[in-house]
Structure 1
Amino acid sequence: MPDSPSADRSGGRHRKSRTTAPALRRAAVIAVTTPVAGTILFGASAFAAGTTAPKTAAVTLDPAEQTIADNLNTRVQDTRLGSTFSGVVIDAASDKVVWGHDATTALMPASNTKLATSTAALTILGPDHRFTTKAVYGDGTVTLVGGGDRTLTSADLEAMAKTVVAGLKNAGLTSVKVKVDDSLFPAPTLATGWNDGYYPDSVAPVRALVVDGHHVTDTSLDAGQTFARLLTKQGVTVTGSVTHGTAGTGTVPVAEHQSAALSSVVEHMLKVSDNDIAETLLRQTALAAGRPATFEDGVAVVRQVLTQYNVSLANFEIHDGSGLSRSNRIPAQTIADILDLADDPANSQTLKYIVDGLPVAGEAGSTLGPEWGRFDTADSQCAVGKVSAKTGTLTGAIALSGLTKAGDGTWKVFSFIENNSTADPAATKDALDGLAATVNGCWA
């Protein structure tokens, strides 16, 4: 596979930032991690010095851009795309609009929603943030306390169990009870636009404790039962059944595990389009902004963050973090603006992990890999290794939004969202891959 474009994406890029300096932005974020009654996420004037006018339409197109526009005007009529389509291409360095088709029409974006979730999580929590799972002891009971780490593995729990058992044996204890505390998040509910059919295949009920990404109704009890088996394996008897409970104030910490940095979590989440991680991040973002860990409060923080980055929320409506909601509506222009924001060198310290996490055309193990039949047609094969893009798929909604270096050597940001096509979904994806190859210029 040819090299990923991420290696030289910012090369030769010189442009005026449309956002605040990173230091000022981080200062504003840090200021709100401790909630203050009567305040909103950011102060009204915190970003005033960094705001600029919104993008303006293109004045002239270079020959390569004109070819892109002409070809897209023809290829967007492909019957595989149906008649409900929102698309846009912008120049990453100048923000010039190269091409658009109903770009501000809000459509169901599917997993392209994860781009907005990632932006908010990285901004509020910071890319170095880690999620902590703890084990505490008190009154003959070891309580496994969930910290909202959706990447926790049984190997991580085994390491914790070894530490716990060593401490128990040093104290002369050979048997304990086990309970789980997942009170960091409220009891799971369905988001607006979700249905019971999503559980537990498309997404598990969102809880603060889970192991090995298991899709079961009660991930917390499942993790606690795994932990109990591991304690037993290390020579400590676990009495009774694992139960739910809240760790008391008098308990003693006996082990903990920290996740990988948020930057890595976001990259993985985008590569494989992990719905569970996205919903967990939405709740963690809400908590860090001083709000309850609910769909509604997480979405409110996403909106506030995007507003402070000067991303237009006209016709923007989301109800979850993963994009599973069939009530979500985002225009292609807004998705492209979010990607352009993440690709802006001024934001690299915080948001570059979104671009780094985009699947690359032909990348095995990602949602653009050959195992998914992506970029494998005569029209799109030429773009393998040259396009980085987030996929999105629901019944009646297919999206592809990302970046590629065009024939004129400049980076272009694109977003294509299709709804309600009657074509086979695989055929519609092939058509979208062709549009991305058109932006790249290899399908001229």
Structure 2
Amino acid sequence: MPTATVTGLFELRVHNRNQGVGRRSLAMLLAVATLLLLAPLAQAQPLAQELQRLMNSARLGDTRLGIIIIDADTSEVLASHNEGDAFIPASNMKLLTSGAALAILGPDFTFRTELLHAGDALIVRGSGDPAFADPRLLRDMQLGVEEIIQTWTRAAADAGVTGITELILDDRIFDDDWVHPSWPVEQLNRWYCAEVYGLNFHANVLSVYVSPTRPGMSPTVRTQPEAPWLNIGNIARTVTDGQNTIWVSRAAGTNSMRLHGNVRQTAERPIEVAVHDMPGIFGRLLAEELERAGVGRPSVRRAAPDEMLPQGKPIALVQTPMRVVMERCNTDSHNLYAEALIKRMGHELTGRPGSWSTGAAAIRMVMQEKLNPRHAADVVIADGSGMSRQNRVTPQMIAQWLLALARDEEIRTALEESLPIPAESGTLRRRFGDTELRHTLRAKTGYLSGVTSLSGYLWDENSGRRIVFSILVNEVPSTMPMRRVRDFQEQVVSIADQWLARATLAEVVNGE
């Protein structure tokens, strides 16, 4: 039977994150040497004193700060504050998840979603791939979600498959706990709280596009993917003044949705609503397309927990390389990607359906191998993305984790390439725009209400000398502008950058 293979579908261009902010020549270094030699070369002012000065002037009130800066070459702690205290990490949790995934699954790991033919049935076998028909990746490749479904349908028709009566969805690689119990119930309609399945599709969200009509009338609504049987109650109104205030609610555990707010103009971006049972939605969409193509009129069902399915003959395949998953996880801080990684690690560890608990055990196992065992004992791992407020880490543990990962060149390269570029990409696109850094920075941000975090690497492109840092901030008052706290984080990175410049210059002058 002929096989249609859709490989590399989500292999997007990967930014060359190894490019620094510019290579400085030896002449440039020596040109400023006379200024820096007026004080001890590597310590024009001790970094700890600089940090204390920043904290004294930051006007952060009762905000809890946890900070550590380490010289990766010597493992010396250059400056610290409350580095051993436990903090909610927010999305800095993704550093643990993605780093452990590189250690357990490997940088060359590939997620696979397969369409198989067995008798009068077609089987869709998921591997937990979070990128399968991800709307962001589809936009980047100028593809529509319908094209994915049509490609699979054509593959079945071209293979001569007919008389299909059943479409079986095999998502048993993960357990049936699709929503973490500690995620905020009032936010389960948001894309960042999407349910987690062994068969993910379209990032498990419905893209809702809204356009105005006549003033006072309901706006028009269309969705991607098109699923007319998913009803969205429309209580929004078209207006002529003000801004768009539209949003979509969804009752937890259902697909009962409502469109709220005012629509003045067509929105540039869709509203992405996390839906319930996306595998079932995908199955119905695929079954309808199979029927239109004359392949059959299949009913759709999930594979039973202990059901022995036939191996089947391959019809179509979508593969997603680890680097794409890592980039969406860390550059874009997409929660579904981190949750898919933690559950997939749980499956690799146990051979059973991956869960949050087995995934947490897998992360803890890697931490015990790479760190002091007490760090693994101190960490509290609730989920993979940091959406849960039950997660707990210490700045010292995060920094030591980054330090340990940096010792493995293959893992270090993959991790660094997955992190955003300041003032250019991902969650750092609007950060460090007014901060002139001399060295290459790659860091992971994190945000929850009252929480902001920033941890990562800072290194010299010429010498390779490196700093690791972690800045965790909790209990930010609701009255305090979060911009003030983020400015403080950027200032901490800036003084670390200045220290690294002095230390690098000292090595050059001393001929080290």
TM range (shorter): 0.7 to 0.9
- Is it true that 1:104 corresponds to 2:163 in the alignment? no
Measure, in 1, the Cα distance between the counterparts of 2:332 and 2:84.
27
**Equivalent of residue 431 in structure 1, options 482, 488, 512:** 488
Q: Relative to 1, partners in 2 of residues 1:165 and 1:407: Cα closer, same or farther, differing over 3 Å?
A: closer
Q: How has the CA–CA distance of structure 1 residues 303 and 116 changed in structure 2, closer, same or farther, with 3 Å as cutoff?
A: same
- For the residues of structure 2 that align with 1:245 and 1:314, how far apart are their CA atoms? 37
1:299 paired with 2:348, answer no
Partners of 1:8 and 1:81 in 2: how far apart?
A: 36
2:128–2:198 CA contact under 8 A, matched in 1: yes
Per the alignment, residue 281 of structure 1 pairs with 341
Distance 1:109 1:65 in 2: 32
Inter-partner Cα distance in structure 1 for 2:119 and 2:387: 42
In structure 1, what is the Cα distance between the partners aligned to 2:310 and 2:421? 50
> Could you state the TM-score of these two structures normalised by the residue count of structure 1?
0.77
1:133 corresponds to = 113
Correspondences of 1:197-216 after superposition (within 5 Å): 197-201=186-190, 202-215=192-205, 216=275
Give the structure 2 partner of residue 222 of structure 1: 281
From 39, 43, 47, the counterpart of 1:68: 47
Equivalent residue number for residue 325 of structure 2: 265
Report deviation, 1:98. Answer: 0.6
Contact 1:199 1:217 in 2 (8 A): no
Match of 2:379 in 1: 316
Cα deviation, 1:188-231, whole Å, max 9, x if unaligned, reads 25435323234241221211112221322112112223333443
Q: Following the alignment from structure 1 to structure 2, what is the Cα–Cα distance between the partners of residues 317 and 304?
A: 13
User: Counterpart amino acid of 1:305?
Assistant: V
Distance 1:237 1:309, change over 3 A: same
Letter matched to residue 170 of structure 2: D
* Aligned counterpart, 2:226: none
Cα distance in structure 2, aligned partners of 1:4 and 1:185? 33
Rounded Cα–Cα distance in structure 1 between residues aligned with 2:338 and 2:432: 26
Over residues 215-251 of structure 1, what are the superposed CA-to-partner deviations in whole Å (9 max), with x where a residue is unaligned? 2211211222333344356x23553653333575336
CA contact (8 A) 1:192 1:327 kept: no
The corresponding residue for 1:6 is 18
What is aligned with 2:151?
159
Measure how far apart 1:67 and its partner are.
4.6
Counterpart residue type for residue 288 of structure 1: E
The answer to whether the 8 Å contact 1:82/1:419 transfers is no
- Give the C-alpha shift of residue 62 in structure 1: 5.6
**Amino acid corresponding to residue 175 of structure 2 in structure 1:** P
Structure 1 residue 262, shift from structure 2 partner: 1.7
Q: Give the aligned partner of residue 38 of structure 1.
A: none
Residues 32-47 of structure 1 mapped to structure 2, 5 A cutoff: none
Alignment of 1:367-378 (within 5 A): 367-370=427-430, 374-376=431-433
Quick one: distance in 2 between partners of 1:65 and 1:121?
40
Aligned to 2:459: 405
Structure 2 distance, partners of 1:164, 1:4, is 38
SS in structure 1 at match of 2:65: strand
If you compute each CA radius of gyration, which structure gives the higher value, 1 or 2? 2
Letter in 2 for 1:196: V
Name the CA shift for 1:100/1:403 in 2 (closer, same or farther; >3 Å). same
> How far apart, in 1, do the equivalents of 2:299 and 2:494 lie?
56
> CA 1:106/1:141 → structure 2, altered by over 3 Å: closer, same or farther?
same
Which sections of structure 2, spanning at least 5 residues, go unmatched?
Answer: 1-14, 24-39, 134-144, 206-274, 503-512
SS in 2 for 1:209: coil
Match of 1:187 in 2: 176
In structure 2, the partner of 1:394 is 448
- Equivalent-residue separation in structure 1 for 2:291 and 2:278 (angstroms): 20
Q: In 2, Cα distance between the equivalents of 1:166 and 1:88?
A: 59
Q: Report the Cα offset of residue 340 of structure 1.
A: 1.4
Letter in structure 2 aligned against 1:430: D
Q: Which residue of 2 aligns with 1:14?
A: none
**Farther-moved stretch of structure 1 (221-230 vs 119-128):** 221-230
Q: TM-score, normalised by structure 2?
A: 0.67
Q: 1:213 to 1:416 in 2, by over 3 A?
A: same
Matched, 1:243 2:301: yes
Could you say what secondary structure the match of 1:148 adopts? coil
> What's the secondary structure of 1:149's corresponding residue?
coil
Give the Cα separation in 1 of the matches to 2:155 and 2:422: 43
One-letter code of the match for 2:474? N
1:357 corresponds to: 418
The one-letter code matched in structure 2 to 1:221 is G
Query: 1:174 deviation in Å?
Result: 5.8
CA contact (8 A) 2:456 2:469 kept: yes
- Give the superposed CA RMSD: 3.1
Aligned residue identity for 1:206: V
Deviates more, 1:140-149 or 1:111-120: 140-149
Report the Cα distance in structure 1 between the residues aligned to 2:297 and 2:95, rounded to whole angstroms: 45
| Residue 402 (structure 2) pairs with residue 348 (structure 1) | no
